[in-house]
Amino acid sequence: DVKVTQSSRYLVKRTGEKVFLECVQDMDHENMFWYRQDPGLGLRLIYFSYDVKMKEKGDIPEGYSVSREKKERFSLILESASTNQTSMYLCASSLYSVQSNQPQHFGDGTRLSIL
Amino acid sequence: ILNVEQSPQSLHVQEGDSTNFTCSFPSSNFYALHWYRWETAKSPEALFVMTLNGDEKKKGRISATLNTKEGYSYLYIKGSQPEDSATYLCAFRPRSASKIIFGSGTRLSIRP
């Protein structure tokens, strides 16, 4: 069965801290994604990666960076956390397909609070 | 800007009733349409990925239709049960991009 694991379910950090959110998938998927979800808004894409060491900006990349050193792991980094980055963060992965008809598989999410 | 609209935003349905809701997306530049179910305290779960105009998919009591020419998809739930309570998300994949764009979801609550 497909498994996407996020390192923390809940996290509390302080303004200005550097924050790492980790995501690991065990399906050998090429594609990995980071989203944030805020009330009244859909999932918004922060960054995605379609291969090791490859990354592309999503719709809201400002204030974030990512790292994909290994195929199974995709890390989201908040360089200097701010209160407006308090949110639910979701990681997802999918198999590469030329037809692009592969669904995304999600982790349980990390609820991050920045004080 | 590619907008994906879902309506209604929330819905309360009596157990046993059938219901449906809508996802609207740009009709041009279509590549694929995804539906996900997101239950509280769980991760979003893929229901369907649809690519062909006129496509209809079914999973138990849940089904979905797709009209790419007019830019909408319907999700139907027949005989709603309490376990159907969740937020239902649709996501549009345009031909010109390698990402999917989510709507804000329809939150469904089933009254026993």
* Token code pair at residue B48: 């369907």
As a dihedral over the C-alpha atoms of residue B50, residue B90, residue A82, residue A24, rounded to 10 degrees, the angle is -40
Query: What's the rounded Cα separation, in Å, for the pair A75 and A7?
Result: 10
CB contact residues (below 8 A), chain A span 51-90, against chain B: 56, 58-59, 90
Examine the pLDDT at B110 and tell me if it is beyond 60: yes
Residue B55 CB partners (closer than 8 Å, separation 6+): B65, B66
- B48-100 pLDDT, tens digit per residue, is 999 999 999 999 999 999 999 999 999 999 999 999 999 999 999 988 777 88
pLDDT of residue B52: 92
- What are the φ and ψ backbone dihedral angles of A20, each rounded to 5 degrees? -115, 125
pLDDT of residue A99: 56
Which chain A residues are within 8 Å of B93, Cβ to Cβ?
Answer: 100
Distance from CA of A82 to the nearest CA of B (A): 24
Q: What's the mean pLDDT when you consider all of chain B? A: 93
pLDDT of residue A100: 60
Q: In Å, what is the CA distance from A101 to each residue of A22, A44, B15?
A: 26, 20, 33
pLDDT of residue B82: 94
- Grouping H, G, I as helix, E, B as strand and the rest as coil, residue A75 is strand
pLDDT of residue B10: 95
B20 forms beta bridges with: B76
Which chain A residues are within 8 Å of B99, Cβ to Cβ?
Answer: 33, 45, 48, 56, 58
Distance from CA of A68 to the nearest CA of B (A): 17
Which chain B residues are within 8 Å of A99, Cβ to Cβ?
Answer: 51
pLDDT of residue B112: 87
pLDDT of residue B28: 87
Q: Which helix (H) or strand (E) holds A83?
A: none
Other CB atoms within 10 A of residue A33 CB: 25
Mean pLDDT per 10-residue run, chain A (115 residues)? 88 97 94 93 92 93 96 97 97 78 91 97
pLDDT of residue A91: 97
CA A59 to chain CA mean position, Å:
13
pLDDT band at B8 (very low <50, low <70, confident <90, very high): very high
As a dihedral over the C-alpha atoms of residue B71, residue B2, residue B8, residue B41, rounded to 10 degrees, the angle is 120
